[in-house]
Amino acid sequence: MKITKKNNQKVLNHIQFLRGISVIIVFFYHLNLSYFDYGFLGVDIFFVISGFVITSIISKEIEKTKKFDFYNFYTRRFKRIYPVLFFILTISLFLIIFLQPLDLFLNNLKVYFFSLFGVSNFYYLFLKKDYFDTVFDDPFAHTWSLGVEEQFYIIFPLLLFFILKYEKYIKSILILSLLVFIGIVFSNIFVENIKLIFYSPLFRFWEFLIGTLTFFLTKKIKIKNNHLSLSALLVLFFFILIPKNINLPNTILITCILTSIFILFYKKNENKLSNYIIENKPMLFLGNVSYSFYLWHLPVIYFYDLYFLQSLFRIPLLFLIIISLSFLSFWIIENKFRYSKFNIRFNFRNIIFGTIVLSIILIINIFAFKDSYNSPIKYKFKNLIYNLNYLENKINYTDRVVFYKININGNEIYRFCTESSEIKKLNSYNLRINCLKKGITNNRIFYIEGNSHTANFIPMFNEININDFIYYNHKANLFGNASFNYDLINNLQKNYNEVVYATNISDEKSLYKLIEIQKKLNKKIKILILGTVPYVNSNIEPLKCFIKNINCEYDTFDDLNKRNLKSLNLKIKKLINNNPNFDYFDPYNLICPSRICKVFDKKTNIITHRDNSHLTIEGSSLMSEDFMRFYIKTYEN
């Protein structure tokens, strides 16, 4: 493979300026700045720019040579996209291994490979994320847009070549306009499916085609008006800043139209105000490194916010770090490969090398999608990664706060006890053996059922030393599920002297549904209401407090009032006074005995919450001693 440098590509300064503006908007959006809630529209500006630039490249080559070199086009796109993409994502992956909570690593690894193959947008489209996978942001989440761009680059040259070769100019514009119109119409038809219209290329290609139409119009519209161009830019900027009452497709459409107007009517004028605004060197520099900046910005923000406190220096410091890294990757990787000529020879050595690389990638992906307990190799690899990770070595992160580590009798409940779990083995009463903690006698069984808020109590039940059987069945939507298994619970009385059905109740609606369920159960079956735990204000991130080793306090006053818990408690107490089959364990004051409490206490090194409504394993354990007293009083006397 020979590499020779060649740089004869003309750069349009107003396009570079627009790239710089776009990446800054996206940067501010990912900083979670309140005025940039619509900063994601910077990506849509990128799409219009890409359509314009790619159309320009293809059109000029066809005009000049009367043909189009597809191989050369795709080679140039590969050089433009992949060397720096591979470089930055690989460095980010190493940072993930060393510094990130490792319960998220598997998804990161998948996105890494999907991004390299240009299909991470499909991964996010079809991904069914569990709640506990969304506690932290994803440092690779921005790669979806690269997938859409790459898919456009594969399909669009064929379409444009056909249009330019066989159709007249006006007819070409009509065809492209029709495709844009169809894309907009279908985006509005499927507007309720946000994931579909956000990640699917079929609902994004029309944005690129607006860029294509803009290029065609520049060939016919010779009128240039910088007042109109700058006005469109100003309106675009304020449009991104202001709140909107219009749907996502129409918001994107307005963004694309304003971007198109800016490109269409701009003209470079020496010694004019527009020239100083658009042609200034800092913005042109940012535009030149915008691709590297886009790739770097989210991982850098992610790791900074994970380990460092908010301060006045956050934004300028992050910008300085990202722009410095962007310059280095642009200079060392991007610029080197972008203007280099690759002479790829399909000889025996290169074919063998390519086959080995693809095989390694395939093997890694096969193991990535297999559960570690089904793969000894993956299990060893997982242990190696955990030994390298700072959080595992410093604060034993996974065992202390990862919700998936909750287990009953050594068996992880999210592996064995959910509705989608593979049923390994049932006992004679159709109970999953892996979800059952056996007691000494058949005097009593606690049948615990519910969603993740009920799972809050499993470490407590697993820790206490009692003679009874304990069983857990995880149902994400217990009270909305019509297939409640009354027969299974009622039949347990054939084997146990007493059956106690236990679930978490956090609101009045669930309480009323539980009362209806109890009416259909055998009258001898007792009901144990597991009360709500304190909910923490959503602006508090307990795990980040834990990682940063800082005290984080919350006030229960707002929680008690917002969820109307005093009224709920009164209704529950009235119920148990009137119905001897109901009992109530209230954990609220055990987790937070005063109005102000800490989700993470630096002095005691105790973290009670994983997020705003779920306890950690050690948070659940705080209830064990009091539950034992409740148990003795309620069931032993």
Three-class SS state of 201: helix
Is 571 in the same domain as 554? yes
Task: Quote the strand ranges of 219-329, DSSP E.
Answer: none
Q: pLDDT tens for residues 102-121? A: 888 888 988 999 999 999 99
Determine the Cα–Cα distance for residues 285 and 13; give it in Å rounded to an integer.
Answer: 10
Residue 92 lies in a domain: yes
Q: Is 595 exposed, middle or buried (0-12, 13-18, 19+ CB in 10 A)?
A: exposed
- Mean pLDDT of all residues in 330-338: 89
pLDDT of residue 345: 60
- Of 439, 438, 433, 478, the residue nearest 455 (C-alpha): 478
Is 92 in the same domain as 165? yes
pLDDT of residue 5: 42
- Mean pLDDT of all residues in 431-446: 92
Residues 6+ apart with CB under 8 A from 171: none
- Mean pLDDT of all residues in 567-589: 94
Is 376 in the same domain as 467? no
Is 378 in the same domain as 431? no
Last residue of a domain, one of 231, 248, 277: 277
pLDDT of residue 173: 84
pLDDT of residue 347: 64
Residue 343 has pLDDT above 70, yes or no: no
Determine the Cα–Cα distance for residues 598 and 546; give it in Å rounded to an integer.
Answer: 11
pLDDT of residue 478: 84
Residue 201 lies in a domain: yes
First to last CA, the chain: 83
Is 535 in the same domain as 566? yes
pLDDT range class, residue 2, cuts 50, 70, 90: very low
Are 439 and 468 spatial neighbours (Cβ–Cβ below 8 Å)?
yes
pLDDT of residue 633: 93
Determine the Cα–Cα distance for residues 469 and 471; give it in Å rounded to an integer.
Answer: 7
Residue 309 has pLDDT above 50, yes or no: yes
Q: Higher model confidence: residue 384 or residue 528?
A: 528
Q: Which two tokens stand for residue 143?
A: 């790669």
Three-class SS state of 387: helix
Q: Higher model confidence: residue 130 or residue 319?
A: 319
- Mean pLDDT of all residues in 283-288: 93
Determine the Cα–Cα distance for residues 327 and 331; give it in Å rounded to an integer.
Answer: 6
Residue 417 lies in a domain: yes
pLDDT range class, residue 480, cuts 50, 70, 90: confident
- Mean pLDDT of all residues in 41-60: 94
Residue 6 has pLDDT above 60, yes or no: no
Residue 376 has pLDDT above 80, yes or no: no
Residue 532 has pLDDT above 70, yes or no: yes
pLDDT > 70: what percent of the chain?
90
- Mean pLDDT of all residues in 603-631: 94
Residue 461 has pLDDT above 90, yes or no: yes
Residue 305 lies in a domain: no
Last residue of a domain, one of 225, 259, 277: 277
Is 239 in the same domain as 383? no
Is 524 in the same domain as 581? yes
Residue 132 has pLDDT above 70, yes or no: no
Is 474 in the same domain as 582? yes
Is 256 in the same domain as 374? no
Determine the Cα–Cα distance for residues 603 and 516; give it in Å rounded to an integer.
Answer: 46
pLDDT range class, residue 219, cuts 50, 70, 90: confident
Kind of pairing between the strands at 411-412 and 407-408: antiparallel
Q: DSSP state, 128? A: -
pLDDT > 90: what percent of the chain?
66
Instruction: Tell me the angle at which helices 226-241 and 248-265 cross, rounded to the nearest 10 degrees.
Output: 160
Residue 421 lies in a domain: yes
* CA triple 626-628-632, angle to 5 deg: 120
Residue 370 has pLDDT above 60, yes or no: no
Are 136 and 162 spatial neighbours (Cβ–Cβ below 8 Å)?
no
pLDDT of residue 7: 44
Provide the residue type at 50 as one letter. Answer: S
- What CATH number is associated with residue 412? 3.40.50.1110
Residues 6+ apart with CB under 8 A from 496: 442, 443, 444, 445, 469
Determine the Cα–Cα distance for residues 26 and 18; give it in Å rounded to an integer.
Answer: 12
Are 185 and 253 spatial neighbours (Cβ–Cβ below 8 Å)?
no
- Mean pLDDT of all residues in 599-603: 95
Round the CA-based radius of gyration of the chain to a whole number and report it: 30
pLDDT of residue 1: 36
Residue 368 has pLDDT above 70, yes or no: no
CA dihedral of residues 271, 274, 275, 278 (deg, nearest 10) = 170
- Mean pLDDT of all residues in 474-503: 88
- Of 467, 461, 502, the residue nearest 617 (C-alpha): 461
pLDDT of residue 4: 39
Residue 523 lies in a domain: yes
The total of structural domains in the chain comes to 3
pLDDT of residue 423: 77
Is 52 in the same domain as 171? yes
Determine the Cα–Cα distance for residues 125 and 546; give it in Å rounded to an integer.
Answer: 32
* CA triple 42-59-54, angle to 5 deg: 25
pLDDT of residue 98: 95
Residue 348 has pLDDT above 70, yes or no: no
Residue 164 lies in a domain: yes
Residue 79 has pLDDT above 60, yes or no: yes
Last residue of a domain, one of 277, 312, 336: 277
Lowest-confidence region among 476-490, 545-559, 568-582: 476-490
pLDDT of residue 44: 96
Residue range of the domain that includes 385: 349-394
Q: Is 207 exposed, middle or buried (0-12, 13-18, 19+ CB in 10 A)?
A: buried
Type and span of the H or E element at 22: helix 13-30
Residue 33 lies in a domain: no
Is 556 in the same domain as 534? yes
- What's the chain's average pLDDT? 88
Task: Quote the strand ranges of 6-112, DSSP E.
Answer: none
Using the structure block, give the residue that is written with the tokens 């209830």. Answer: 623
Is 406 in the same domain as 361? no
- Mean pLDDT of all residues in 169-175: 81
- Mean pLDDT of all residues in 306-313: 91
Q: pLDDT tens for residues 397-419? A: 999 999 889 999 889 999 999 98
Residue 373 has pLDDT above 60, yes or no: no
pLDDT range class, residue 69, cuts 50, 70, 90: confident
Identity of the highest mean pLDDT range in 164-178, 419-433, 617-631: 617-631
